[in-house]
């Protein structure tokens, strides 16, 4: 299965990454750059290990926020799309506001939300605002791309609205919904980070974004990099998990999940 070309495709970015790290380390050493200006990769790694108790706790906080925002966005986006699909009037009334929420930068909304909501709630709402729109618009697109003749067949056999939804519209929309969720996963992390930075609170419930801001103020640049590294890894893992779920759900039938050979 693994052809030489696949191997090259995998090795090339890894090689670039390694070369970048080596170059970075070399420059920091050669010019004697201070850690508070630019820490070396090794130092970042050491800091990550040394500060693990603090950072891991923050990672947990951020991941939990992201998860809550993501779940809310997934449910909210799909449910809203289903409601819009059932009632044109509802769609006409509400869709413009969904767009407004989407195009207004969340970083500008976050401070307002923090005034009116409890901090933990506000952070989740921020993650939700950023993440729900792709789910909503993708699900809407999916529900509208049902095969015309299949819909006719359901009509011929006297299918109820619920049957049509469960056995036709939702399965047909599934690939689109999963596409929306994949985007929403990354976006809910962004929403959580933005809200944490806007909130800027210290203490036990502080997420990774807060650690980055805090380390910045204290010129603890190695920890800043370490926290950033963790955030980046979290984003990659979220995307990977969602892509895997999508693949597992679609692999038997959908074009996007089929190998090139079939």
Partner 1 sequence: MGPAPPHPRFQRDLSPVGRGVLRGTIAPTDIQPQMVESIVPETAASGPAVRLRGVSKTYDSGVTALGPLDLDVRRGEFVSLLGPSGCGKSTALRIIAGLASPSAGTVEVSHHGAEQRGRHPIGFVFQEPTLMPWATVRDNVRLPLKLARAPATGADTRIDAALDQVGLAEFAGAYPRELSGGMKMRVSLARALVTDPDILLMDEPFAALDEITRFRLNNDLLALWRSLHKTVIFVTHSVFESVYLSERVIVMTARPGRIGAEFRITSPEPRGEEFRTSAEYAAFCREVSNALAPSYAGQAGA
Query: Which of 168, 190, 224, 238 is in the footprint of partner 1 by CB under 8 A?
Result: 168
The token pair at 80 is: 């809203």
The sign of the dihedral angle between the CA atoms of 97, 100, 106, 112 is negative
The token pair at 93 is: 């009334």
Do residues 143 and 82 lie in contact, with contact meaning Cβ atoms separated by under 8 Å? yes
The least distance separating partner 1 from the CB of residue 153, rounded to whole angstroms, comes to 6
Helix axes 221-250, 170-199, angle to 10 degrees: 170
Query: Which of 60, 171, 216, 240 is in the footprint of partner 1 by CB under 8 A?
Result: 171
* Cβ proximity to partner 1, 168 vs 194, nearer residue: 168
Q: Is 14 in the site for partner 1 (CB under 8 A)?
A: no
How far apart (Å, rounded) are the C-alpha atoms in residues 251 and 234?
25
Query: Which of 70, 128, 132, 154 is in the footprint of partner 1 by CB under 8 A?
Result: 154
The least distance separating partner 1 from the CB of residue 133, rounded to whole angstroms, comes to 23
Do residues 128 and 76 lie in contact, with contact meaning Cβ atoms separated by under 8 Å? yes
Annotate each residue in 200-219 with x if it binds partner 1 (CB under 8 A) or - if it does not, as one string: --------------------
Query: What is the Cα 252 distance to its own chain's centre?
Result: 25
φ and ψ at residue 130, rounded to 5 degrees: -70, -35
Q: In the window 52-111, what residues touch partner 1 (CB under 8 A)?
A: 88
Q: In the window 127-146, what residues touch partner 1 (CB under 8 A)?
A: 144, 146
Among the candidate windows 27-35, 122-130, 154-162, 211-219, which touches partner 1 by CB under 8 A?
154-162
The least distance separating partner 1 from the CB of residue 162, rounded to whole angstroms, comes to 11
The least distance separating partner 1 from the CB of residue 173, rounded to whole angstroms, comes to 11
Q: How many CB atoms are closer than 10 A to CB 220?
A: 20
Query: Which of 174, 197, 228, 245 is in the footprint of partner 1 by CB under 8 A?
Result: 174
Query: Which of 13, 32, 105, 158 is in the footprint of partner 1 by CB under 8 A?
Result: 158
Q: Is 254 in the site for partner 1 (CB under 8 A)?
A: yes
Q: Is 253 in the site for partner 1 (CB under 8 A)?
A: yes
Question: How many residues are listed for the chain in this entry?
Answer: 262
From its phi and psi, is residue 105 left (phi > 0), alpha (psi between -120 and 50) or beta? beta
How far apart (Å, rounded) are the C-alpha atoms in residues 213 and 217?
7
Token pair 């789910």 in the structure block, residue: 135
Query: Which of 14, 103, 156, 202 is in the footprint of partner 1 by CB under 8 A?
Result: 156
- Residues at the site binding partner 1, with contacts judged by CB under 8 A: 88, 144, 146-159, 163-164, 167-168, 171-172, 174, 252-254, 258, 262
């Amino acid at each position: 299965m693994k052809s030489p070309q696949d191997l090259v495709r995998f090795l090339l970015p890894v090689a670039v990454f390694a070369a970048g790290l080596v170059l970075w380390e070399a420059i920091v050493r050669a010019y004697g750059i201070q850690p508070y200006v630019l820490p070396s990769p090794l130092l970042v790694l050491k800091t990550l290990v040394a500060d693990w108790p603090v950072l891991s706790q923050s990672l947990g906080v951020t991941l939990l926020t992201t998860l809550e925002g993501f779940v809310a966005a997934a449910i909210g986006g799909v449910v809203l799309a289903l409601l819009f699909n059932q009632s044109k009037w509802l769609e006409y009334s509400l869709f413009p506001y969904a767009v407004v929420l989407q195009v207004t930068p969340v970083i500008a909304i976050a401070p307002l939300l923090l005034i009116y909501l409890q901090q933990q709630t506000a952070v989740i709402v921020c993650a939700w605002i950023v993440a729900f729109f792709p789910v909503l618009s993708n699900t809407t697109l999916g529900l509208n791309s049902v095969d015309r003749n299949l819909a006719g067949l359901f009509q011929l056999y006297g299918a109820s609205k619920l049957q049509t939804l469960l056995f036709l519209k939702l399965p047909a929309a599934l690939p689109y919904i999963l596409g929306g969720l994949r985007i929403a996963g990354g976006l809910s992390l962004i929403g959580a980070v933005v809200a944490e930075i806007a909130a800027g609170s210290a203490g036990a419930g502080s997420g990774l974004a807060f650690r980055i801001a805090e380390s910045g103020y204290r010129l603890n640049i190695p920890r800043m990099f370490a926290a950033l590294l963790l955030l980046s890894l979290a984003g990659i893992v979220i995307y990977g998990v969602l892509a895997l779920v999508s693949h597992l759900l679609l692999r038997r039938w959908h074009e996007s999940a089929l190998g090139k050979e079939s």
